[in-house]
């Protein structure tokens, strides 16, 4: 069964990494179901997570309550796209007129052999299956890190809804953990922690020919307009 960790246990076991103190500060005064949980088994996809939570908890869960953090390479930097899971295949975003592809967990064999190759990888403290919007604060561009922008999908219907977030880390143990907090609380926390780097907007606004079609990959437009 899914088990909520006490604040003391989170600190003692160092569940969060150095640079996630802003998340620890939030959890210090959290109440109710909000908190970090350990589940009976590891999951690697949002659907696997929701299926597991539906079996292990008494709460009602739907797929959009699992929140994705997809990283896109922009030169040597990374942009993060944060969205509820809508069952869409996301491989590209259009940002400031540029088409950006997703970052990956590790270099290809060819890139490893080519000493001149500079593959753009995910942050070193996460992998596919544990990608999180809650980056380490030393890893943002304003602190000489790689993450330069957070694009968060505006989802007013989920504002007060409990959502499930990965918190980073690598390996089976990290894949068994997640954070529960309202979607709107996540937005507020990210704005507080990273201020001008955060853009909250409708990420699925795109020209008609680029809109999502079931069964096809989706091209997502990241509009310049920011919703406060």
Identify the structural domains of the chain with CATH numbers, from first to last: 3-222 (3.90.960.10)
Are 62 and 25 in contact, with CB atoms under 8 Å apart?
A: no
What is the model's pLDDT at position 212? 40
Q: How far apart are CA 123 and CA 200, in angstroms?
A: 22
- Picking from 188, 178, 161, 145, the residue whose alpha carbon sits closest to that of residue 42 is 178
| pTM: predicted TM-score of the whole model, two decimal places | 0.84
pLDDT in tens, the chain (228 residues): 899 999 999 999 999 999 999 999 999 999 999 999 999 999 999 999 999 999 999 999 999 999 999 898 888 889 899 999 988 777 767 666 666 767 766 545 554 555 554 455 789 999 988 999 999 999 999 888 999 999 999 999 999 999 999 999 999 999 999 999 999 999 999 999 999 999 998 877 654 444 444 434 444 444 433 333
Q: How far apart are CA 5 and CA 44, in angstroms?
A: 21
């Amino acid at each position: 069964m899914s088990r909520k960790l006490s604040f003391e246990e989170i600190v003692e076991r160092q569940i969060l990494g150095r640079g996630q103190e802003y998340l620890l500060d939030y959890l210090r005064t959290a109440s109710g179901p909000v908190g970090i949980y350990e589940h009976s088994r590891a999951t690697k996809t949002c659907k696997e997570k929701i299926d597991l939570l539906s079996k292990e908890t008494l709460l009602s869960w739907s797929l959009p309550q699992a929140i994705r953090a997809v990283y896109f390479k922009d030169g040597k930097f990374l942009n993060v796209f944060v969205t509820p899971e809508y069952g869409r295949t996301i491989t590209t975003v259009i940002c400031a007129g540029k088409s950006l592809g997703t970052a990956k967990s590790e270099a290809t064999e060819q890139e490893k052999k080519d000493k001149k190759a500079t593959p753009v990888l995910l942050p070193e403290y996460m992998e596919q299956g544990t990608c999180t919007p809650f980056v380490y604060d030393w890893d943002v561009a304003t602190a000489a890190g790689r993450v330069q922008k957070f694009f968060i999908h505006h989802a007013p219907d989920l504002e007060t809804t409990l959502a499930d977030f990965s918190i980073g880390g690598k390996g089976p143990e990290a894949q068994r953990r997640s954070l529960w907090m309202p979607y709107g609380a996540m937005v507020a926390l990210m704005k507080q922690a990273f201020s001008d780097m955060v853009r909250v907007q409708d990420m699925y606004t795109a020209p008609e020919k680029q809109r999502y079609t079931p069964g096809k990959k989706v091209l997502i437009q990241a509009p310049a307009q920011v919703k406060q």
